[in-house]
Amino acid sequence: MHSVLFEIGSFQIPSYGVMIALGMVAATTLAYRMARRRGLSGDYVLDAVFWAVLAGFIGARLAYLATTRREALSDPIASIFGGGGGIYLAGLAAGLGATIWQARRHHIGIPTAFDLLAPALAVAHAFGRVGCFLAGCCYGSPLSHGGVCYPPASWPYMDQLANGLISSAAATTLPIHAVQLYEAIGNAILAGGLYLFWKRSPAAGSVAAAYAVAYALMRFALEFFRGDAIRGQWGGLSTSQWLSLALAIAGLAAWHQIRRRA
């Protein structure tokens, strides 16, 4: 765990923030080049990424605060922009709304806009999950052998301590699934596959629909290896698993409609 990448005096550079920044640069560069390759405005990409990231961050934080039942009424602004935690799929929904707004503003078809951003989104998410691994958030469940161990004061350590899995004298956590890296690798593979699919010039919306189904299935499966149950559980499934099911259904429905019109 390296939650702080380096320090300059009392100023700390968090590894999570660095990975998010690198992911956004890589994602924006990819989407910009894809847009220019199709003769579309690069300005749309810059505007869409900015507003989608802002909306996605706020959406993910609001969903996290709602599912963990944290009191946020006393200072809602500080609750949203302060602290950590978020639900990616809720942020994705908010980001899609911002993408639609910017697509209409720049007179670009919404399916085409979604196709441009789908591979870039997977790239950004891959970087983000590496950041999660370094920060110690979004961690996995215990393993009988293998896996990774986190030090005292980390989120996995405090969770295992609270649940009686380790004592306060433990030097590290029990080994846990490196689920953040599983998802980072999965997103990297997904990004490559989506880009190759996009280069074949499929019907508008096909790339985004493929992302929705593929990511939803991957996320649903990976949730079984997550150890941070604080995100909420209903009917034996996590919040993200229910959202993944909804995303998969929406993606399949969109794919069916696209195939019918093609």
- Residue 82 predicted with pLDDT over 50: no
How far is residue 37's CA from residue 40's CA, in Å, rounded to a whole number? 7
> Which residues, 6 or more positions from 137, have their beta carbon under 8 angstroms from its beta carbon?
16, 84, 85, 155, 228
Neighbouring-strand partners of residue 119: none
For the residues 119-141, what does the mean pLDDT come to? Answer: 92
Q: What is the pLDDT of residue 36?
A: 92
Strands 11-14 and 237-238: unpaired
- Residue 196 predicted with pLDDT over 90: yes
Closest CA to 184 of 124, 96, 251, 119: 124
Q: What is the mean pLDDT of the chain?
A: 87
How far is residue 61's CA from residue 153's CA, in Å, rounded to a whole number? 23
Q: What is the pLDDT of residue 78?
A: 47
Does residue 129 form part of some domain? yes
How far is residue 209's CA from residue 43's CA, in Å, rounded to a whole number? 24
Does residue 168 form part of some domain? no
For the residues 33-38, what does the mean pLDDT come to? Answer: 92
Does residue 158 form part of some domain? no
For the residues 8-24, what does the mean pLDDT come to? Answer: 85
For the residues 28-41, what does the mean pLDDT come to? Answer: 91
- Residue 95 predicted with pLDDT over 90: no
Q: What is the pTM of this model?
A: 0.86
Q: For the chain, how many structural domains are there in total?
A: 1
Does residue 166 form part of some domain? no
Q: How many Cβ atoms from other residues are within 10 Å of residue 184's Cβ?
A: 21
| Percent of all residues in the chain with a pLDDT value above 90, rounded to a whole number | 52
Question: Averaging pLDDT over each range in 31-35, 92-96, 137-141, 214-218, which range is the top one?
Answer: 214-218
Does residue 241 form part of some domain? yes
Does residue 161 form part of some domain? no
Tens of pLDDT along 211-222? 999 999 999 999
> Which residues, 6 or more positions from 194, have their beta carbon under 8 angstroms from its beta carbon?
118, 119, 122, 207, 210, 211
Neighbouring-strand partners of residue 4: 14
For the residues 86-114, what does the mean pLDDT come to? Answer: 86
- Residue 164 predicted with pLDDT over 90: yes
Does residue 164 form part of some domain? no
Domain residues for the domain of 124 are 4-141+177-261
Q: What is the pLDDT of residue 180?
A: 96
Does residue 147 form part of some domain? no
Q: Are 10 and 110 in contact (CB under 8 A)?
A: no
Tens of pLDDT along 59-80? 877 776 676 555 444 445 444 4
Q: What is the pLDDT of residue 133?
A: 93
